[in-house]
Chains A and B, each alone.
Chain A
Amino acid sequence: MTRPELLRVEGITKAYPGVVANSDVSFSIGEGEVHALLGENGAGKSTMVKMIYGLVRPDSGTMTLRGAAYQPSKPAEARRLGVAMVFQHFSLFEALNVAENVALGMENPPPMRELAARIRAVSEEYGLPLDPSRMVGDLSAGERQRVEIIRCLLQDPKLLIMDEPTSVLTPQEVEILFKTLRQLSREGTAILYISHKLEEIRSLCDEATILRRGKVVATCTPRERTAREMAELMVGTSLKTPERRVAEKGEVALGVSDLSAASPIPFGTSLKGISFTVAKGEVLGIAGVAGNGQDELLLALSGELRAAPDKVRVVGQPVGDLGPVERRRAGLVAAPEDRYGHAAAPDMSLVENAFLTAGVRKGLTKNGFVDWAGTRRFAEEIIAAYDVRTPGPDVAARALSGGNLQKFLMGRELMQGASVIVINQPTWGVDAAAAAQIRQSILDRAGEGAAVVVISQDLDELLEVSDSFAVLNEGRLTKPRPTEGLTMDEIGLMMGGAHGMEVAHHAEA
């Protein structure tokens, strides 16, 4: 099926200091086409769509929209020309209701009552049930995304850009979203869909452009390719099945039995009867859709959330009632997901941040005073070992890019010589090369005898690093299974009948 061309991108190049985000990128999207922009983190997908949405200006290259030159200088101009975007992180006001949020994103909103009626009409038309009078703060992630989508739809867009829309959604919500997107596509709205989830793209998209290190490396029709083929195009090398070390199970280093805890996070998920053990030298991968208790599990393991003493044991020592500092002393270090504010104090320097978690294990205090020389040496070691791009160890953590800060924080935890390491989202937002390096260091630490728990939403990552594999689902953990020989179908089943990744595929029929 050939479609009239809507948007053509030709030879777009965009460089940031030190990085070429996009180099000579060309592709075109037809009207009503669902086009995937595929690539690893840091491949230049987000920069590309930001240029289309007018948030970033390209250095060179041209874009044409319906035959006319297209150079939006700000998002409002892009919106006026029929390009709308749903962001990965929503721009919503929690204490305002749905209608008010929609009105704020429109240039000339109609009166509230009329707007509420239109929201109702559009939300019913596209199967996105939404009550205009509800507070956004009370909505789930999926419902919040609906608010953003409806805000876009009310402006009658010709091209809808979606930046990793499913990363915060439950499988049921993904299914609803896909139905809506297919309906939009039938009605002639083109969708530019960014993701690195291959199965989603296979079920949804008509065409795909694959980016690697800012360059277009391939275009393909996703339905005709296997996920593995596309993954190989993304990564650039044939995927080598991770080499399994001979699993010589050491003694149990981390034991968790029947751990339940209420969530301290508003609208969080409480943990229900979590049990597992990790042996020395073993990597346990924990998968699951965001919001199924990952943050709470990290809090419970790090010691921020306490339990009865024998619920959590580190090398045989009960630590369930101990706080983070005592647990570090006992040999358990943890790296939370949120870098700015939880894993690091953003306004403090890297040296100070290094001290904050490594002070205990690296013995960086003398008679109650901080050993700044030693701390600085440690920070410099991390910077050298993990290739952290920073002017020096004294810059504020906030000044580093997300990926660079993540490398520093991973290094800080991995270099403390702990016997148990717990990491949530080790490579989130980190470019492909650095991600590989972080994964390698996780494997190296395990090789040296540490027990590692990796919580991640990236299945490929988990399959690459972990020896055993479990899924966190609504606060419950499945029984860990050996990763070796695990098939995608089996993983889907582990993710739960109602929560199966299969849902998305079946919805297509």
Chain B
Amino acid sequence: MDFGGINPVILIATLMASAVPILLAALGETVVERAGVLNLGVEGMMIIGALGGFVVAVQTGSPVLGFLGGAVAGAALSLIFALLTQVFLANQVATGLALTLFGLGVSSLGGQGYNGIKPPPTGPLLPDALADLPVVGPILFGHDWVVYFSILMTAVLWWVLKATRVGLIIRAVGESHEAAHALGYKVNRIRLACIAFGGAMAGMGGAYVSLARVPQWVDGITAGAGWIALAIVVFASWKPWRVLIGAYLFGGITVLQLNLQVAGSAIPVEYLSMAPYLITILVLVIMSAGRKGKASGAPASLGQNFHASR
């Protein structure tokens, strides 16, 4: 059951795996933006996470510790952003862009000794017997643990944001930091925690690229995934389940264009390669044209710094 040389079962299984980095990063950024902070440094935190995860995994031989290392590296970089924007009240857009450039540069420098090394493999979680089942096997049971973790995180964040007091406070801070402050909540401290969480998620997403997707260290390995993650957050109207849908949609487009290239499609390779980015732009335009103002679900204080004295 191939269509033009593409097996849909393999396609779906691959897109689930290929969507993991942008899904994790976008989930983290969703929390950050729900708290009213716009961190455009996702790409930088991802690539630092990719390097950090790769180094830790190679040094310790444990891929799980590698992912942890990626999360720590991403969070550490995000704390620079947190310090600049929450303590020194620097402009969030400029700081976020600088964070990306900084992350790309540092990772390029730090990764020099790691070219051509194989990291310890991250294998499937479940026994082969399950994964060998027809159709459902590869789609549901053939993945490594990070794929399941990313889906679990979607559910957890959905529940936390919707139903818990912590989630309510995060949303309140993102909605009106002045009202939240008047009620006695520590706006900047809550935001700082959210930024660190977003950094950890982005770092882990980056680690998945270098440890499972590629898997090796290459300069600029994340190749714009952070920007797609940012777009997905808007596409998803800041809602976790829609982030999952968005990530799979974009993961699917990426996988599809690779498959089309392999299948020898008549469309030039360059067009296929630019497709995911082009579609990102298109989706953003359509999303913002169709709905105006409040209906988009954007947190009202998004991107605004808060200082208690005002």
Contact = CB atoms under 8 A, between A and B. Distances in A.
Contact of A104 (B168, B293, B300): B168
Contacts of B179: 91-93
B219 interface: no
Contacts of B297: 95
B13 to A, nearest CB: 38
B291 interface: no
A104 B163 contact: no
A94 B176 contact: yes
Interface string B170-192: 01100110111011110000000
B299 interface: yes
B121 to A, nearest CB: 45
Contacts of A112: 163
Classify the secondary structure of B's interface with A.
helix
A173 B175 CA distance: 27
B183 A104 contact: yes
A104 B299 contact: no
**7 nearest A-B residue pairs (beta carbon):** A91-B179, A91-B182, A93-B175, A95-B175, A93-B176, A104-B172, A93-B172
A94 B175 contact: yes
B149 to A, nearest CB: 28
A11 interface: no
Interface of B: 163, 165, 168-169, 171-172, 175-176, 178-180, 182-185, 293-294, 297, 299-300
Contacts of B183: 91, 104-105
Contact of A100 (B168, B184, B185): B168
B294 A96 contact: no
A9 interface: no
Contacts of B176: 92-94
A95 B299 CA distance: 8
Given A76-B184, A95-B171, A104-B183, 7 more contacts: A93-B171, A94-B176, A94-B294, A94-B300, A103-B168, A104-B168, A105-B183
18 contacts: A75-B184, A76-B184, A91-B178, A93-B172, A93-B175, A93-B179, A95-B175, A95-B297, A96-B171, A96-B172, A100-B168, A103-B165, A104-B168, A104-B180, A104-B183, A109-B165, A112-B163, A266-B293
A301 to B, nearest CB: 26
A94 B280 CA distance: 30
Nearest to A135: B294
A137 interface: yes
Contacts of B180: 93, 104
A93 B165 CA distance: 15
Given A93-B176, A94-B175, A104 B169 contact: yes
B300 to A, nearest CB: 6
Contacts of A105: 183
Contacts of B300: 94-95
B238 to A, nearest CB: 10
A87 to B, nearest CB: 8
Given A76-B184, A91-B183, A137 B294 contact: yes
B182 to A, nearest CB: 4
Interface in A110-137: 112, 137
A91 B181 CA distance: 9
Contacts of A76: 184
Interface in A61-107: 74-76, 91-96, 100, 103-105
Interface residues of A, number: 17
Contacts of A137: 294
Nearest to B171: A96
Contacts of A109: 165
A105 B183 CA distance: 6
A189 to B, nearest CB: 22
Contacts of B175: 93-96
Nearest to A100: B168
Interface string A210-254: 000000000000000000000000000000000000000000000
A473 to B, nearest CB: 28
Nearest to B184: A76
A149 B70 CA distance: 48
A94 B171 CA distance: 11
A266 B300 CA distance: 15
Contacts of B169: 104
A199 to B, nearest CB: 31
Contacts of B168: 96, 100, 103-104
Contacts of A93: 171-172, 175-176, 179-180
Contacts of B293: 266
B185 to A, nearest CB: 8
Contacts of A266: 293
Contacts of B178: 91
A92 to B, nearest CB: 6
A94 B175 CA distance: 7
A75 B181 CA distance: 12
A95 B297 CA distance: 8
A492 B171 CA distance: 44
Contacts of A100: 168, 171-172
A161 to B, nearest CB: 15
Contacts of B299: 95
A112 B184 CA distance: 20
A71 to B, nearest CB: 18
Nearest to B169: A104
A137 B295 CA distance: 11
B306 to A, nearest CB: 14
A112 B182 CA distance: 22
B237 to A, nearest CB: 12
A210 to B, nearest CB: 29
A76 B185 CA distance: 11
A109 B180 CA distance: 16
A198 B171 CA distance: 41
A100 B168 CA distance: 7
